[in-house]
Amino acid sequence: MSRAHRVAVIGGDGIGPEVVTEALKVVAASGVSLDTTDFDLGGARYLRDGEILSDATLDQLRGFDAILLGAVGTPDVPPGVIERGLLLKMRFELDLYINQRPFSGVAPGHSTPHDFVVIRENTEGPYVGEGGVLRKGTPFEVATQGSVNTAHGVERCVRYAFELAAKRSRKHLTLVHKTNVLTFAGDLWQRTFNTVAKDFPQVATAYNHVDAACIYFVQDPHRYDVIVTDNLFGDILTDLGGAVSGGIGVASSANLNPRRTGPSMFEPVHGSAPDIVGTGKANPVAAILSAAHMLEFLGEARAAEGLRTACVDAPSGSTSQVGTEIASRVAKAAK
Ligand code: IPM
Ligand code: MN
């Protein structure tokens, strides 16, 4: 057996620690050994001593094989502080340029399951925080918020999506953007997409405007196999993807550095849900599926498949009952 994988665990705020506990329980049942180190980060930590994510802590994180995160954010901290200072800082500084979010399930009003993956660019777009404010609080206030799209950043994201599509059975990739309005960024994305497509003649391609894609997610999700899109469109579309695929409680996410120059980070799509903390109502499946992706990325494909299989027809019950039942399915299958 290979050495234990070194995993930094950031339970975070609200239901984060609850769902991460269940994910680790399930991984343990698979027989894969993890050497975990807990990092106390998030809104609660920030309120206690002001640390969000220091450069020293970030350097420590760089030494791990992966990061497993529950959820961060608390209503007591103004919007953006923890998101930008912790989550986005990790995405940017660790160069986690791919955000991969798979969706499978039966959408409301449909009878057959769909199965598609959204590849969201994770280090550029409006998320870089370009812009500023002038004359704040006056009637003459000016606020600008730019979107940064680089040839390099778009190319590596689009190429990753083509590589993924080429490995899947349907071999179909859709670019989602808003090229009819965002003509500068949209043109860069479309040209890059067309150029990279030439290296993947086996992959069929399509283009949808993001507003039309919202309709198709609901009315015809079966048309999709792999979708590639920019950071903000991907953020919005993947919440909708969750809503048509069994809910946000089962939506998993992987923030990947495919070059492996540092750890990748795995987290459920959902937030810290402070309203249900401690009630046992949090669904741990999204965290368990995120851990499955982590195992796959760490080279434990068999165990990852075991976790995914065990999440099909997940049992109902409290957070820990669901985790325990899935863990026992995993343990049984791993024997
Ligand atoms: C997500 C979240 C984050 C995002 C927030 C919390 C910054 O919504 O992971 O989808 O917008 O990327
Ligand atoms: Mn989001």
pLDDT (mean) for 248-257: 96
**CA 219–ligand 1 middle distance (angstroms):** 25
pLDDT over 90 (residue 3): no
CATH assignment of the domain containing 301: 3.40.718.10
Closest ligand 1 atom number to CA of residue 91: 12
Atom of ligand 1 nearest to the CA of 73: 6
Measured in angstroms, how far is the CA atom of residue 316 from the centroid of ligand 1? 27
Confidence at 334, pLDDT banded by 50, 70, 90:
confident
Separation of alpha carbons 335 and 331, rounded Å: 6
Q: Which ligand is nearest to the CA of 85?
A: 1
User: Quick one: 250 and 274 in the same domain?
Assistant: no
pLDDT at 224: 98
83 CB near ligand 1 (under 6 Å): yes
Do 267 and 204 lie in one domain? The reply is no
The finding on whether 87 has its CB within 6 A of some atom of ligand 1 is: yes
Q: Which atom of ligand 1 is nearest to the CA of 238?
A: 10
Q: How far apart are CA 35 and CA 7, in angstroms?
A: 6
Same domain, 328 and 278: yes
Tell whether 189 and 264 lie within a shared domain.
no
* pLDDT level of residue 1 (50, 70, 90 thresholds): low
Residue 239 in contact with ligand 1 by CB distance below 6 A: no
| 287 and 241, same domain (yes or no) | no
The one-character DSSP state at 258 is T
Question: Could you tell me if 248 and 242 are in contact, meaning their C-beta atoms sit under 8 angstroms apart?
Answer: yes
More confident residue, 335 or 211: 211
Q: Nearest residue CA, atom 5 of ligand 1?
A: 83
Residue at a domain's end among 219, 254, 289:
254
Its pTM stands at 0.96
Please write the tens of the pLDDT for every residue from 223-251.
Answer: 999 999 999 999 999 999 999 999 999 99
Residue ending a domain, among 200, 228, 254, is: 254
Ligand 2 centroid, distance to 3 Cα (angstroms): 34
What per-residue confidence (pLDDT) applies to 2?
62
Mean pLDDT for 114-136 is: 98
**Domain limits for position 109:** 100-254
Asked if 108 and 22 sit in the same domain, the reply is no
Question: Residue 135 pLDDT more than 60?
Answer: yes
Residue 92 main-chain phi, psi, to 5 deg: -75, -50
Ligand 1 pocket: which of 72, 83, 98 to mutate (most atoms <8 Å of CB)? 83
Catalytically active residues, by annotation: 127, 178, 211, 235, 239
Residue 125 CA: which ligand is closest?
Answer: 1
Spatial separation of the C-alpha atoms in residues 255 and 148, rounded to whole Å: 19
Protein residue with its CA nearest to atom 4 in ligand 1? 235
Tell me: do 114 and 129 sit in the same domain. Answer: yes
Token output for 177: 């953007």
Summarised one tens digit per residue, pLDDT across range 291-330 is 999 999 999 999 999 999 999 999 999 999 999 999 999 9
* Angstrom distance (rounded) from CA 286 to CA 331: 19
- Dig out the tokens for 40 from the structure: 């106390």
> Is the dihedral angle over the CA atoms 116, 218, 255, 26 positive or is it negative?
negative
pLDDT tens, residue by residue, 201-226: 999 999 999 999 999 999 999 999 99
Angle of CA points 102, 316, 23, to nearest 5°:
55
Does residue 238 share a domain with residue 121? yes
Q: Which ligand is nearest to the CA of 253?
A: 1
Predicted local distance difference test score (pLDDT) of residue 89: 97
Contact 99, 230 (CB under 8 A): no
User: What residue owns the CA closest to ligand 1's atom 12?
Assistant: 235
Cβ(203)–Cβ(166) below 8 Å: yes
Residues by chain with Cβ below 5 Å of ion ligand 2:
235
Answer with the one of 211, 239, 254 that is the final residue of a domain: 254
Indicate if 2 and 49 belong to the same structural domain. Answer: yes
Q: What's the token pair of residue 293?
A: 């992706």
Residue 149 pLDDT: 98
Which is the closest atom of ligand 1 to the Cα of 88?
7
pLDDT in tens, 142-199: 999 999 999 999 999 999 999 999 999 999 999 999 999 999 999 999 999 999 999 9
Instruction: Specify whether 118 is located in the same domain as 250.
Output: yes
Identify whether residues 226 and 332 lie together within a single domain: no
Domain count, the chain: 2
Q: Is any atom of ligand 1 closer than 6 Å to the C-beta of 69?
A: no
276-295 per-position pLDDT tens digit: 999 999 999 999 999 999 99
Both 109 and 232 in one domain: the answer is yes
User: From the CA of 233, how far away is ligand 1's center (Å)?
Assistant: 11
